[in-house]
């Protein structure tokens, strides 16, 4: 089973976006991906915004037709021109765009001079200029159009030649002479030239490539989509289950939990926050101690983990069919490290079954029991 049951589509004007795809595959190798290179229309950098929007829409439709549920606009120029339009046109699809990493460059610069290598379309775009104004207003930004780098990368057989190094050097040396100590690769084609650029700059400047940061963002978007899709599925299933069935299964759930939690100290999110699953019979007959969270938030569960025998929570709080898709920020790992040995969590999801009974132990997360 894939950790994230979502197919992710990537597109670019050519092979440049492969730098983002490779970073994502390194981070999430189990996720299915699809890449579309719009090579016949490469490069996008010298095209009008209207052309880029039309080309991007065509790329997105191809990826959706291939079953992609998350789309990465793996092109800075297309992000600048088209991502607002794409989000409006395909409202049910999450999009991840690419913009130059000017913020970390501004924060890391000691000379107060940073350089951004990009296409004209990116440098003229709203996202880049808003980011520059917001995060780089106190540094000098040298914005350089380097469309020839795109051509160089697309003709990838020539990257190892002296001619290729000379083309790159002609752009880089003036930036170093102007005092730039951070050079931002503002096009997904440019990380393919990173080794050449680093050879030229040596210790004089830091080369900033945001591929890894984009990969982390894609993973978070996938997690959010899976959670939202699962919650919607739960809502739909609840609407479809007749009341008589809900009542009968709630009765059965209560009896099951009474048996499993007899005399224990428990925490129940349901008692604090409510639920469409009516477990009132369990709470009325339970003979142990119930700790009711006084607040929402992860810290409560981590703080009390060492004293609790059983946890009764919504299914998404702990697991989704055995996958570690809990709340963010490493909360679940912190909970596991603090949990009382031998304690158990009962993740109750949907109005008709306990989805998972999870042993609380170091990363011991598996689907142990399904009560139907």
- Calpha distance 163→168 (Å, rounded): 9
Joined together, the tokens standing for residue 362 give: 């170091």
Average pLDDT, the chain: 80
Q: Which of 42, 59, 68, 75 is catalytic?
A: 75
CATH of the domain at 111: 3.40.50.1860
Quick check: is 2 in a domain? no
Is residue 187 annotated as part of the catalytic site, yes or no?
Answer: yes
Peptide bond into 304 cis (omega under 30): no
Q: Say if strands 140-145 and 70-73 run parallel, antiparallel, or are unpaired.
A: unpaired
In this structure, are 119 and 74 located in the same domain?
no
Instruction: Supply the DSSP symbol for 320.
Output: B
E-strand stretches of 74-205: 95-96, 113-118, 140-145, 182-185
In this structure, are 52 and 122 located in the same domain?
no
Q: How many domains does the chain have?
A: 3
Band (pLDDT 50/70/90 cuts) for residue 107 is very high
Tell whether pTM > 0.95.
Answer: no
Residue ranges making up the domain that contains 82:
8-97+213-217
pLDDT at 30 over 70: yes
- Residue 238's pLDDT is 63
Residue 183 neighbours by CB under 8 Å, 6+ apart: 105, 114, 115, 117, 172, 175, 197, 201, 205, 206, 207, 208
- Calpha distance 314→253 (Å, rounded): 13
Cβ-based neighbour number of residue 92 at 10 Å:
6
Tell which residue, 235, 229, 231, has the closest CA to residue 70. Answer: 229
Q: Nearest 5 degrees, angle CA 19-CA 185-CA 120?
A: 105
Which one has a higher pLDDT value, 125 or 208? 208
Is residue 182 annotated as part of the catalytic site, yes or no?
Answer: no
- Residue 337's pLDDT is 67
In this structure, are 126 and 164 located in the same domain?
yes
Tell which residue, 318, 312, 372, has the closest CA to residue 346. Answer: 312
Quick check: is 112 in a domain? yes
In this structure, are 88 and 112 located in the same domain?
no
Q: Of all residues in the chain, what percent carry a pLDDT higher than 90?
A: 51
pLDDT, tens digit, 9 for 90 and up, residues 35-91? 999 999 999 988 999 999 999 999 999 999 999 999 999 999 999 999 999 999 999
- Residue 241's pLDDT is 66
Residue 338 neighbours by CB under 8 Å, 6+ apart: 302, 305, 306
Which one has a higher pLDDT value, 311 or 127? 127
pLDDT, tens digit, 9 for 90 and up, residues 10-29? 999 999 999 999 999 999 99
Report the C-alpha dihedral over residues 366, 369, 370, 372, rounded to 10 degrees: 180
Q: Which of 28, 59, 68, 187 is catalytic?
A: 187
Band (pLDDT 50/70/90 cuts) for residue 358 is very low
Quick check: is 236 in a domain? no
In this structure, are 192 and 266 located in the same domain?
no
CATH of the domain at 312: 3.40.50
Quick check: is 81 in a domain? yes
- Residue 295's pLDDT is 56
Average pLDDT over residues 208-226: 93
């Amino acid at each position: 089973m894939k950790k994230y049951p979502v197919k992710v589509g990537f597109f670019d004007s050519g092979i440049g976006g492969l730098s983002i795809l490779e970073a994502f595959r390194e981070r999430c190798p189990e996720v299915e991906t699809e890449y579309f290179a719009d090579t016949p229309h490469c490069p996008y950098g010298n095209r009008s915004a209207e052309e880029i929007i039309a080309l991007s829409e065509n790329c997105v439709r191809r990826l959706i037709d291939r079953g992609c549920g998350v789309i990465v606009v793996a092109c800075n120029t297309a992000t600048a021109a088209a991502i607002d339009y794409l989000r409006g046109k395909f409202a049910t699809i999450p999009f991840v765009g690419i913009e130059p990493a000017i913020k970390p460059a501004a924060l890391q610069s000691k000379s107060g001079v940073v350089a951004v290598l990009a296409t004209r379309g990116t440098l003229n775009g709203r996202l880049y200029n808003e980011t520059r104004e917001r995060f780089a207003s106190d540094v000098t930004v040298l914005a350089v159009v380097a469309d020839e780098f795109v051509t160089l990368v697309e003709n990838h057989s020539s990257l190892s030649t002296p001619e290729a190094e000379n083309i790159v050097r002609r752009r880089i040396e003036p930036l170093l002479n102007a005092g730039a100590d951070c050079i931002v690769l503002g096009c997904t084609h440019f990380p393919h030239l990173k080794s050449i650029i680093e050879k030229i700059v040596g210790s004089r400047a830091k080369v900033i490539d945001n591929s890894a940061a984009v990969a982390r963002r894609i993973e978070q978007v996938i997690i959010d989509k899976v959670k939202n899709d699962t919650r919607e599925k739960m809502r739909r299933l609840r609407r479809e289950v007749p009341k008589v069935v809900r009542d009968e299964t709630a009765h059965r759930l209560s009896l099951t939990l009474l048996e499993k939690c007899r005399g224990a100290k428990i925490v129940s999110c349901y008692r604090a926050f409510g639920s469409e699953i009516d477990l009132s019979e369990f709470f009325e007959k339970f003979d142990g101690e119930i700790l009711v969270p006084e607040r929402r938030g992860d810290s409560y569960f981590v703080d009390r983990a060492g004293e609790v025998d059983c946890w009764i929570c919504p299914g998404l709080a702990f697991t989704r069919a055995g996958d570690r898709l809990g709340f963010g920020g490493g909360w679940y790992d912190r909970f596991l490290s603090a949990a009382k040995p031998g304690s158990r969590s009962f993740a109750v999801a949907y109005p008709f079954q306990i989805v998972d009974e999870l042993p609380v132990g170091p990363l011991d997360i598996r689907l142990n029991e399904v009560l139907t």
